[in-house]
Structure 1
Amino acid sequence: MYLGKADVNTYDKGAGREFLVSNGRGSYGFSTVIGANTRREHGLLVVRPESERQHSVLVSKIEETIFDRNKKYQLSTNRYKDLVYPDGYRYLQEYQGNPFPSILFVIHSILLKKSIFMPHGKECTVIKYELLAAPDKVRLDLRPLFAHRLSDTVCPESGKSEFSVSSDDAHSISVKGRGHASCCSATAGTWSLKPLWFENLIYEQDDRPESAGVDHLWSPGFISNEISEGDVVYVVLSEKPQSFTLKELAAMEKETAERFENILEQANIPALNSAEQDMIVSSYHLVDDRPESIAPIYTGYPSVDTKARDTFISLPGLLLATGREEVAAKTLKYWLEIAEKNGWVMPEKFADDGSCEFGCIDNGLWFVYAADKYLSHHKEASAQDRAAFARAIKEIVEKYISGAAELDAVCDANMLLRMTSAHPSRYWMNAVAGDEVVVPRKGYLVEVNALWYNALKCAEKYALECGCADSAKKFGEAAEKCAKSFNDTFWSFDMKGLYDSVDPETFKNDGTIRPNQILAASLPFSPLSPDAAQNVVRLCWNELYTTYGLRTLDPRHDKFKGRSEGRLDQRLKARYRGMAWTWLLGQFITAYLKNNPSRKDLGWVFIRPFNSHLRHGCLGGVAELFDGMMPYRPHGDVLSAVSLGELLRVLHENLEAGE
């Protein structure tokens, strides 16, 4: 990833491009390439303490100033209510993202390189300043700005006694306040403790018009260094005091760079172009690979949440395509144990008190999908793992057959899963705007039953593998019955596609053209005939396909709302009434290539637009969803697990396979 002067020569261009670093343990640094924080979640050191379920921004940023020959050059950039000040982006000549973010500032014949990385497994962010060229000595002042707040909040006003500072040694300080503590240390320099409030900073990319993104940050002072050409100064930001020598920091820097190369070598994708390399590297920010048992996959940034459904959809791309089979097995085992403790009902996520929250009906079915992907991909999986996952698939399917009251789900005599309530939390299009359910659904849901058929076939497959002929026969007969009922219930001869939902109590068929039906054509086991699958693909292509995803609603529908704009309720409606989701595009490409295996050229046509997207927003990342009409602006998480995971899966399974 390389950006030149033309990419960052205005505030809007620079502020629209974000970098992300992480330590593989849940802590991260996240900001724009010009250093202006535009989201409340931005910060150079953002951590989640073990006792907390949410991240906190400790150190927001560092203000850099160079003094040369009695002239002052401020390299930082901030957005205030009425102005942008300072405008240090004017000195930014280039940005490089690999092996980690680095920015080159040029002031006449002074060249200062700034690099940012997080050592793997360590709770700190390291910023390296290297004077590449200068005719004489220059003075570099570094002033850290502290936030000490939850990542989704702001400090509404400055205070006088909220923070305190102490000096640990000549090069380090510790800051306490608002229930947090953090440290800033440098390898050289002298601290001047001159507290200062930075007031009324604006986070214009906040998607919360109901809650103003105006923040106030505190700085205890600055550290000064007289440096000459070739000199290097490291700054370490941490939650607890850290003491590293220059040699140790240089070793960490080298290790971080080598880790980037190892990530690419380990991947199961050739990654012959920079776009694929950037996506592979970005996938590592979404995985927490600490050895202890925790949920390893995050939903994305800046949400940094953990949800079962997102985990299972993204696992084949984030973990299998990138060669992380051991983490994939660990992830599946983690959720398997949770499901077993809940009578083989898969929860959606965990509440703040640690209890399980039961959401979508299809969470367990997505687990079966992910487990099958793992076992099919990783033939070398241990006999113990294969047996454990095969058993989990069997138990989960048996639970659905007997009924899952926790999910308002029953299996009818026709072998279709039926949702007995109309609560939107039971399906993924779950938005409620005020008192209005954005997508009312009840009864048989098309994507749930497509996943259900796939799960039944998987249960049959692994029962045969385990030598359980009776179970295999039972699941096989159930799948056959399910397929017939699926086609009889969902097929619409009028639109040559599938109903989105069917309510057997009212005999109401929802003929709204939505993308949920694509799963019936894309999943490993499809209940549709090849001709029917081709028709579903064609319908979704003609009516729902956009550059970056499948729309959630036919644009000719009277409730279509293709852009996220206006009041909160209007933006919630747009998410499922017209906006486009990238993870659905992954399923669409797979469905298309399953039925048109000789047209990989078109598969690449569907993927290529992301080459440009990767250079905007979160660099190297793929956004969660996009407007469903021009200009296709991105929204939601700027780095989304399901979006990135699906593109990596398609590259691995459909496009790079055998090439």
Structure 2
Amino acid sequence: VLDEILLEIEFCYTDKGRQESEDKIVGLNGAKVEVREHLKGNDSKLAIIKQYETNGKLHLKHFPSGSVIVIKVSPIKKATEAIKLILFVNALKQSTLQTFNILLFRCAAEDENDFGSSSYNIPHWKRLDYCGLQGLLPYLNDIRFRNDLGHPICQNLRDGLWLCDYIYHRLSKHNPMLTEIARIIRILFLPLHEIPYDLRPCYFEALFSLIYETTLEQLMKKLSRPFVTASIYVQSLALSSVAFLGAVKNSKLALLPDGYKIEDDLPSSLSAGLPHFSTGFWRNWGRDTFIALPGCCLVTGRFQDARNLILSYGGAIRHGIIPNLLDGGYGARYNARDAVWFWLYAIVKYIEMVPQGFEILKSKVLRIFIHDDTIYGHDLTEQYLADTMQEALMRHFNGIEFVERNAGPRIDEHMQEQGFHVNAYVDHSTGFISGGNIYNCGTWMDKMGSSEKAGNKGWPATPRDGAAVELQGLCFAVIQKLDELYHKKLYPYEGVFTENEMWTWQKWANIMKNNFERFFYIAENDLSQYVNRRGIIKDTYGSTQGYTDYQLRPNFSIALAVAPKLIAPEKAWQALQIAEEELLGPLGIKTLDPSDYNYCPFYNQDDDGTEKKTAQGWSYHQGPEWLWVGMFFYRAKLAIAKIISEEKNNAEFYEKAKRFVRSRMGTYWEHLKHSTWASLPELTNANGSPCYHSCGAQAWSIGCMLEMIGIENFEMIYTLLPSFLVLCIIV
């Protein structure tokens, strides 16, 4: 609809005053310019304006060279009426968080698996990363910023409205609530059919932005209350977490007890990363799930989803450990020594962060393998979660040793026979959690060599056998919490025992604390042949190769973050300072000391060369910079700084540590703003350079960031921002 003609400029020629010269340029002085402002359509001398019910036309009747006309238009009546619809908001209010996952996210593989359709493809350009609304948003933001009406998306909209059709037809394939949302979105897009094709990109962007912003606003209201008024940075992290929690039909969780109530048809599983770990066998990793869970579920207030995940994986426990790969329970693989400890620690966090969280200990778990040799589907047994936890702890205290089922190429085509032998146990002389061998890689650094040409096939790059440092911190945190719960009569077991001895939780914790500094700290006077750096905390203790104990890796920061009192704070601080100087990158933290012979900061799974250190991605954990461990480094720095600050009555020491962490946040915000995945990656190569074999969106990167900024009851949600971001938010 034409509001007014803002400006008309008419260029008129006249013979008056025209002069010519043979020796100089006198310019064009035989002309005049008429300027007319704020005209109604009928007052124009240059054009005829015809206004119809749904659109208008502008005919140029007298438009000599040099003329200008500027008009002001408003959306047609049907568009403004559609924008005012409140049905969309009401539908979103009735939706579950799983619905928001479908509406906003889901990568191509997820939709292909469930519905046989992929993400939207822009001809002659690319396929979008997400099937949902978030797939378009970064490109529309870029088009708006650059005023790039020649962008392939704009041309696609001018050519036809297939993109609109895709959006609402895709949603109509899902549940009834999404079908209703699709119907409303279709109504919102109807005016685009009546708008001149060259104006479609502008109108589409306006309508799409309305739909997206309304969706985002309602999403934040469904998460924890602080997110409604949190900074745009923190809201962006919360939004990113929604991408990982959803249901995919071929990636179900293990069974939950009969009668267990959930909001959706299927409980949400937590994808390890997108797009590589989105469907099938590869979606549900025990370790990744419980590293990400405190941030993605507890900080965001998704307590029911957290409970579902804890109980589902608990039901799949076998041999005293949870699955590394879940595969619904029936195809689970039990080859991770650390996953069960992240599971136990996640339960501790649940109890601490959820109102009446201790009640989860009396929740029923459906054990699908009540005995190690139980056949899937037989002898299903319900038991309390506390009993399942106790079984895992007792099995470790008495020692776990078994050979994986179906050992051989069927489950791992590269591993040597000895690698399928799994063992995990408590070393009764130190209290440490130990296990593994040089043929397998049972912690998160789990890269198995696969190159015959380079000679690394069947050899783990990082076996980390012995006592891995992070497991000691996790165990210490868990047993200290169990001691507290036992004395409050909330956990029924006093400790663990064998035929010959019994340890209370406190006794176990004391043994660990008395031995940790002794065996893990590399003192200035340490004369071991393997010492490369002093004043650091070892990565492992008791490894077969020996020298790997003494490598500087960032895993000790995980132990310090969850159990900061395991070692004298001054020594912990010194180790953190060395790690900060030698390992910390722009986004992640180096996984190996740059002075180490094996250091290689680039990961390339396609490398088919003969260099053993790098062939077929053997360098995965030998230098590339991982984000989730970096978040634990920040947490450790804050935790140790707080202890030192309190001991020395020096508040500024802790404030300085907080300022350091704040100063690091801008880099993550910049990445989030420009990521087409609206997320943080799994890892980067050297100095933060992109790693194209990494997931663009990784659950534990986002989860650990959320957990880090959400510590101490959201104390830092509003402060862990660079000053320029705070100013932007205030403005």
* Bin of the TM-score, shorter chain as denominator length: 0.5 to 0.7
Question: Is 2:611 aligned against 1:587?
Answer: no
- Given that 2:321 and 2:337 are in contact with CA atoms closer than 8 Å, whether structure 1 keeps it comes out as no
Corresponding letter in the other structure for 2:477: N
- Given that 1:275 and 1:620 are in contact with CA atoms closer than 8 Å, whether structure 2 keeps it comes out as no
1-structure distance, mates of 2:715, 2:607: 45
- CA gap of 1:134–1:452, structure 2 versus 1, over 3 A, is closer
- CA gap of 1:506–1:627, structure 2 versus 1, over 3 A, is closer
Determine helix, strand or coil for the equivalent of 2:349: helix
Report the equivalent of 2:515: 485
2-structure distance, mates of 1:580, 1:617: 18
Question: Is 2:237 aligned against 1:279?
Answer: yes
1-structure distance, mates of 2:387, 2:465: 31
Q: 1:30: Cα distance to partner?
A: 7.1
- Given that 2:601 and 2:622 are in contact with CA atoms closer than 8 Å, whether structure 1 keeps it comes out as yes
1-structure distance, mates of 2:327, 2:359: 34
Question: Is 2:331 aligned against 1:308?
Answer: no
Report the equivalent of 1:460: 483
Query: 1:363-386 CA distances to partner (integer Å, 9 max, x unpaired)?
Result: 111111100111101133373546
Overall identity of the aligned pairs, in %: 17
Q: 1:130: Cα distance to partner?
A: 4.5
Q: 1:285: Cα distance to partner?
A: 1.5
Report the equivalent of 2:682: 624
2-structure distance, mates of 1:559, 1:107: 50
Corresponding letter in the other structure for 2:288: D
- Given that 2:627 and 2:683 are in contact with CA atoms closer than 8 Å, whether structure 1 keeps it comes out as yes
Determine helix, strand or coil for the equivalent of 1:400: helix
2-structure distance, mates of 1:512, 1:476: 31
Question: Is 2:76 aligned against 1:46?
Answer: no
2-structure distance, mates of 1:585, 1:630: 12
1-structure distance, mates of 2:693, 2:427: 39
The aligned runs of 1:123-272 (5 Å cut-off) are 130=189, 137-138=196-197, 258-265=214-221, 266-270=223-227, 272=230
Report the equivalent of 1:397: 393
Report the equivalent of 2:594: 555
Report the equivalent of 2:345: 369
Report the equivalent of 1:521: 560
- CA gap of 1:474–1:23, structure 2 versus 1, over 3 A, is closer
The aligned runs of 1:78-97 (5 Å cut-off) are 78=126, 94=142
1-structure distance, mates of 2:639, 2:195: 64
2-structure distance, mates of 1:463, 1:96: 59
1-structure distance, mates of 2:461, 2:558: 21
Report the equivalent of 2:315: 337
Determine helix, strand or coil for the equivalent of 1:408: strand
- Given that 2:564 and 2:636 are in contact with CA atoms closer than 8 Å, whether structure 1 keeps it comes out as no
Report the equivalent of 1:567: 607
2-structure distance, mates of 1:639, 1:410: 34
Report the equivalent of 1:500: 539
2-structure distance, mates of 1:354, 1:315: 23
- CA gap of 1:630–1:335, structure 2 versus 1, over 3 A, is closer
- Given that 1:268 and 1:321 are in contact with CA atoms closer than 8 Å, whether structure 2 keeps it comes out as no
1-structure distance, mates of 2:290, 2:572: 24
Corresponding letter in the other structure for 2:273: G
- CA gap of 1:105–1:490, structure 2 versus 1, over 3 A, is closer
Corresponding letter in the other structure for 1:397: L
Unaligned stretches of 5+ in structure 2?
1-96, 128-136, 146-150, 248-262, 364-383, 403-421, 452-456, 497-502, 525-533, 609-613, 642-653, 719-731
Corresponding letter in the other structure for 1:422: I
Determine helix, strand or coil for the equivalent of 1:618: coil
Question: Is 2:536 aligned against 1:536?
Answer: no
Give the aligned CA root-mean-square deviation in angstroms: 4.3
Query: 1:56-85 CA distances to partner (integer Å, 9 max, x unpaired)?
Result: 86345355xxxxxxxxxxx75259xxxxxx
Corresponding letter in the other structure for 1:643: S
Report the equivalent of 1:601: 659
- Given that 2:268 and 2:305 are in contact with CA atoms closer than 8 Å, whether structure 1 keeps it comes out as no
Report the equivalent of 1:298: 271
Corresponding letter in the other structure for 1:375: I
Q: 1:603: Cα distance to partner?
A: 1.6
Q: 1:484: Cα distance to partner?
A: 1.8
* Normalised TM-score (structure 1): 0.65
1-structure distance, mates of 2:512, 2:581: 28
1-structure distance, mates of 2:575, 2:202: 64
Corresponding letter in the other structure for 1:332: I
Q: 2:120 aligns with which of 61, 65, 86?
A: 61
- Given that 1:318 and 1:648 are in contact with CA atoms closer than 8 Å, whether structure 2 keeps it comes out as yes
Which has a greater percent of helix?
2
* Normalised TM-score (structure 2): 0.59
2-structure distance, mates of 1:509, 1:638: 30
Question: Is 2:288 aligned against 1:288?
Answer: no
Q: 1:46: Cα distance to partner?
A: 2.1
Report the equivalent of 1:449: 472
Aligned length, in residue pairs: 491
- Given that 1:549 and 1:582 are in contact with CA atoms closer than 8 Å, whether structure 2 keeps it comes out as yes
- Given that 1:24 and 1:120 are in contact with CA atoms closer than 8 Å, whether structure 2 keeps it comes out as no
1-structure distance, mates of 2:142, 2:159: 11
- CA gap of 1:510–1:639, structure 2 versus 1, over 3 A, is same
Query: 1:375-419 CA distances to partner (integer Å, 9 max, x unpaired)?
Result: 101133373546755444433222211112244112222222221
Query: 1:459-478 CA distances to partner (integer Å, 9 max, x unpaired)?
Result: 22222232658439711101
- Given that 1:106 and 1:112 are in contact with CA atoms closer than 8 Å, whether structure 2 keeps it comes out as no
Question: Is 2:137 aligned against 1:122?
Answer: no
The aligned runs of 1:70-109 (5 Å cut-off) are 77-78=125-126, 94=142
Report the equivalent of 1:640: 698
Unaligned stretches of 5+ in structure 1?
1-21, 32-40, 50-55, 64-74, 80-88, 98-102, 141-226, 235-249
- CA gap of 1:542–1:121, structure 2 versus 1, over 3 A, is farther
2-structure distance, mates of 1:621, 1:635: 16
Q: 1:293: Cα distance to partner?
A: 5.7
2-structure distance, mates of 1:256, 1:391: 45
Question: Is 2:438 aligned against 1:422?
Answer: yes
2-structure distance, mates of 1:229, 1:553: 50
1-structure distance, mates of 2:600, 2:548: 22
- Given that 1:29 and 1:42 are in contact with CA atoms closer than 8 Å, whether structure 2 keeps it comes out as no
Say which structure, 1 or 2, has more relative contact order (CA 8 Å, 6+ apart): 1
Question: Is 2:495 aligned against 1:471?
Answer: yes
Query: 1:501-545 CA distances to partner (integer Å, 9 max, x unpaired)?
Result: 232778666211111111221114642222222123212211111
1-structure distance, mates of 2:670, 2:616: 25
- CA gap of 1:633–1:380, structure 2 versus 1, over 3 A, is same
- Given that 2:471 and 2:559 are in contact with CA atoms closer than 8 Å, whether structure 1 keeps it comes out as no
Determine helix, strand or coil for the equivalent of 2:589: strand
Corresponding letter in the other structure for 1:404: I
Q: 1:636: Cα distance to partner?
A: 1.4
1-structure distance, mates of 2:390, 2:298: 23
Corresponding letter in the other structure for 2:216: F
Report the equivalent of 1:320: 298
Query: 1:294-333 CA distances to partner (integer Å, 9 max, x unpaired)?
Result: 5621112102111111111111110111111121112211
- CA gap of 1:107–1:452, structure 2 versus 1, over 3 A, is closer
- Given that 1:300 and 1:641 are in contact with CA atoms closer than 8 Å, whether structure 2 keeps it comes out as yes
- Given that 2:101 and 2:242 are in contact with CA atoms closer than 8 Å, whether structure 1 keeps it comes out as no
